[in-house]
Amino acid sequence: MAAPRLRLGVNVDHIATVRNARGGALPDPVRGALLAIEAGADGITAHLREDRRHIRDEDISRLMAAISKPLNFEMAATDEMVALAAATKPHAACLVPEKRSERTTEGGLDVIGGHDHVRAATQILKGAGIRVSLFIEPSIAALEAAVSIGAPVVELHTGSWCEAVTQGASEAEHEFERIRLAARKAAELGLECHAGHGLDYETARRIAGLSQIIELNIGHFLMGEALFVGLPAAIAAMRAAMDAGRAEA
Ligand code: PXP
């Protein structure tokens, strides 16, 4: 059976990072989102952090009003964010851990220690008609907790694998194997499986070979490439890498 098409979610946070470096309104993450969709993105992801360091509240409402593809609202499972998402009603919400001091999302959500808290947030979001995904480590225990929490979707954290690949570290294959097994287990458990964090052309191509994964969320690498080749060209190259990897699935 042919593997399902792999969707590309483009994270526009770092367009806002550059905007905020100077204050003002430019570059506009909404323009980036529209351009990304025109270039083939299947959805847009934006992370409203507690400290609003990149995406701001008005970016979320402007994205909701402007884009024709689903918005994946990345958020911590705090009362403030849950209330905001429930009022805004994006297509999807991805629950992530958040620490003020981190530069980007470090590690997966603690779905075991924080089970009841994450479950309560998930129930409220689902009640508002939002598709909930949990950003988790690629581990069987985390997948089982996601089922018990009642989330229909998980996003596997690919950060450790991508970092190991970039550094040429010997654990890279072990990290990939964890992702491969987790993707298989997610499908067995009836969870829709996404993946993301730290992906570039090479790692996206490889992970596209895992047929259970149906969406990749990619931001930082694409925005870096866009500085040199432009956003449409970077997205086209990413799409080609994903399609090539998928053809081998
Ligand atoms: N998925 C999740 C849940 C994330 O937190 C991030 C980082 O914001 C990404 C995907 C995208 O990661 P990157 O910017 O490294 O491509």
Which CATH number characterizes residue 42's domain? Answer: 3.20.20.70
Q: Residue 216: which domain range?
A: 7-247
Does residue 1 lie in a domain region?
Answer: no
Reading the block at residue 70, the tokens are: 């689903």
pLDDT exceeds 80 at position 186: yes
Is the sign of the CA dihedral 75, 79, 82, 83 positive or negative?
negative
- With the most atoms of ligand 1 within 8 angstroms of its CB, the residue from 7, 18, 45 to mutate is 45
Residue with CA at minimum distance from ligand 1 atom 3: 135
Cα(24) to centroid of ligand 1, in Å? 25
Does the pLDDT of residue 107 top 90, yes or no? no
Is residue 90 within 8 A of residue 45, CB to CB? The reply is no
Q: Is residue 2 part of a domain?
A: no
| Exposure class string for 55-80: b at 16+ Cβ within 10 A, else e | bbeebbeebbeebebbbbbbbbbeee
pLDDT band at 1 (very low <50, low <70, confident <90, very high): low
Task: List the residue whose alpha carbon is closest to atom 1 of ligand 1.
Answer: 196
Tell me what the pLDDT averaged over the chain comes to.
Answer: 96
Judge whether 54 counts as a catalytic residue.
Answer: no
Residue 188 known to be catalytic: no
pLDDT at 49: 96
Q: Which is the catalytic residue, given 47, 54, 157, 194?
A: 47
Number of domains in the chain: 1
How much distance in Å is there from the Cα of 73 to the middle of ligand 1?
Answer: 12
**Taking 80 as the threshold, does the pLDDT of residue 102 lie above it?**
no
Local confidence band at 98 (pLDDT 50, 70, 90 cut-offs):
confident
- Is 154 inside any structural domain? yes
Share of the chain above pLDDT 90, in %: 94
Residue 105 within any structural domain of the chain: yes
Average pLDDT estimate for 117-129: 98
Residue nearest atom 5 of ligand 1, based on CA coordinates: 105
Residue 54: pLDDT above 80? yes
Tell me the mean pLDDT in the region 180-208: 98
Q: Is the pLDDT of residue 117 over 80?
A: yes
Pocket of ligand 1 (CB under 6 A): 11, 13, 47, 74, 94, 96, 104-105, 135, 155, 196-199, 217-221
In a domain, 186, yes or no: yes
Pairing of strands 7-11, 43-47: parallel
Residue 226's pLDDT is 98
pLDDT digits (tens, 9 = 90+) for 212-228: 999 999 999 999 999 99
Name the residue of 50, 72, 105 to mutate for ligand 1: max ligand atoms within 8 A of Cβ.
Answer: 105
Q: Is 74 a catalytic residue?
A: yes
Nearest CA to ligand 1 atom 9: 197
Counting atoms of ligand 1 from 1, which one is nearest the CA of 159?
15
What is the reported pLDDT for 100?
A: 73
Task: Decide if pLDDT at 101 tops 80.
Answer: no
Answer yes or no: is pLDDT of 112 > 90. yes
Marked catalytic residue, from 137, 155, 197, 225: 197
Mean pLDDT score, 170-196: 98
